[in-house]
Structure 1
Amino acid sequence: MVEFTPVIILTGAGRGIGFAILSYLLALPNPPNIIATSRNISAIEPLAAAHKNLEVISVDFSAPSSELRTLISEILNSAVLKWGRIDSLLLNHGNLDPVAKIDVAALEDWEANYRVNFLSNVEFIKTALPELRKTNGRVVLVSSGASSIYFTGWGAYGSTKAALNHLNSTLALEEPTITTVAIAPGIVDTDMQASLRGVHGKVMSDGENAFFNSLKENNSMVKPEDVGTALANLALRVEKSLSGKYLNWDDEILSSYRA
């Protein structure tokens, strides 16, 4: 049997969950080859200097469609030219803004959010399909509990995540050789939560605001490294039986991926 090193494309790697995923993968005894993207790559450039199996690329997923298409093609082509294959997409990038009630929401802001949170994922998957078919590859989509739990002002973000879940199930149906899962990471102690407490509380109701503040005060949020471990392992070895499913990161069925 020919041994090979898997190739993973990881987005949103510059901070939070994405940085935790990247750190976990690089610390493995036999780490995969990785292309990691982030809008701001300053935190991960030193890692690329220290790890020959890591390439980092700055990407702004809010770019117009034609530009985004070119950026994604360049990322995927870089992986194939450098390592000859693509085994996994771990699509972790996303943006909460705009947090605004529907009666004052700007359509342009919703469009920008959909480009980042949903349409870029469609473009990524579509462009990568020829390579993923060759490797019986894997797609891990980072969804959210906000896809089915509702908060004031979260209409754009939550609806993109609901669309992402539907995309996941459709991909599993249409591409039976590829294994795809959508994972809700829980409420994670990241910059997004800091923004919720510090900036967006005035949009949400008093009760919602108190809920998010209490999670920080009680130290009961999910740690990025915990959910990052599960997502990284799914990208490496997700079972075919999970394909098309939307799961919470701490579901019992994922216990082996959290180890």
Structure 2
Amino acid sequence: MPAPVLIVTGASRGLGLAIARTLLATHGANVATLQRTLTPELKALAAEYPDRLLTISGDVSKPEDNARAVDQTVAKWGRLTGLVLNAGTLDPMGKLTEVPLDALVPSVQTNVLSALYIVQPAIKHLRAAASAEDPARVVLVSSGASVGAYQAWGMYSMSKAAMNSLARTFAAEEKDGNVLFLSVRPGVVDTDMQKHIRSVGPGVMAPNEMAKFTQLHEGGHLLPPEQPGSVIAGCAIGMPASVSGEYVDWADERFAQWRHV
């Protein structure tokens, strides 16, 4: 059976990088990544897997960059079996009554519309590669903020709630196409986003909410990216049709087989 072929967005560091590494090292997949910055960490991973990792520089908020990523992936490996939509931004942080209006559209483009920008050009290839026995799979990286509320996180929370809705809708629309969709909450992960919260949050977040994240960091309770990353990668390779359309926690016992870290 040919190796799986997937695109991972936002893979320059942190969770996205961990997902890409697990797909390569554990699942033997061919992986293309789409990200704005080619970091030293991603360059090192590409050097480790020169024939199986294709790094594509681009902006997920631009439809043409997403379409180019799909075209280059299919041109290199002849098919596409999955997507992991991890790219996102917490900005603009601030109360919804105060965030700059000119920041709203870029936020929605990066956090929500980017999913449509890549699924639309990818779907024909996903359908072509899929079968009832081996469906294609799309994982949307969500957040606990999608079902909660933090002061100053309004745009991010709204966007992640939209990702959950997209997973449900895509799943309903693709029942006959053997393409599965899942929205996953990765938990509070030790990434640059957490550094951004600790830097910007004290000026805009509610003190008790800010304290939660400070305490998680100081207590060493932030998740290593490899923990949820291993589960998300596993879902992108093997999630069953029975979960398609759901919003799930990375620690859901149904996915325990992929907890490699």
Long gaps (5+) in structure 1: 63-67
> 2: CA distance between counterparts of 1:42 and 1:186?
24
CA deviation string 1:48-88 (max 9, x = no partner): 233211110111224xxxxx222111111111111110000
**Number of positions where the alignment pairs a residue of Structure 1 with one of Structure 2:** 251
Provide the identity percentage. 38
Partner of 2:173: 174
TM-score when scaled to structure 2? 0.93
Root-mean-square deviation over aligned CA pairs: 1.2
Partner of 2:213: 212
Amino acid at match of 1:12: G
> 2: CA distance between counterparts of 1:201 and 1:185?
23
Q: CA deviation at 1:47?
A: 2.5
Report 1:157-172 matches (<5 A): 157-172=156-171
Long gaps (5+) in structure 2: 131-135
Q: Is the 8 A contact 2:11 2:35 kept in 1?
A: yes
Report 1:1-259 matches (<5 A): 3-28=1-26, 31-43=28-40, 44-51=42-49, 52-62=51-61, 68-136=62-130, 137-176=136-175, 177-259=178-260
> 1: CA distance between counterparts of 2:210 and 2:252?
26
CA deviation string 1:131-154 (max 9, x = no partner): 111122110000011011110011
Q: CA deviation at 1:25?
A: 2.2
Partner of 1:65: none
Q: What SS does the aligned partner of 1:199 have?
A: helix
Q: Is the 8 A contact 2:185 2:250 kept in 1?
A: yes
Q: CA deviation at 1:252?
A: 1.7
> 2: CA distance between counterparts of 1:172 and 1:102?
31
Q: Is the 8 A contact 2:126 2:179 kept in 1?
A: yes
> 1: CA distance between counterparts of 2:222 and 2:63?
35
Amino acid at match of 1:95: T
Amino acid at match of 2:140: L
Q: What SS does the aligned partner of 2:202 have?
A: helix
Amino acid at match of 2:44: P
> 2: CA distance between counterparts of 1:166 and 1:142?
12
> 2: CA distance between counterparts of 1:35 and 1:101?
36
Q: Is the 8 A contact 2:12 2:37 kept in 1?
A: yes
TM-score when scaled to structure 1? 0.93
> 1: CA distance between counterparts of 2:210 and 2:233?
31
Residue range with higher mean Cα deviation, 17-26 or 242-251? 17-26
Q: CA deviation at 1:18?
A: 0.7
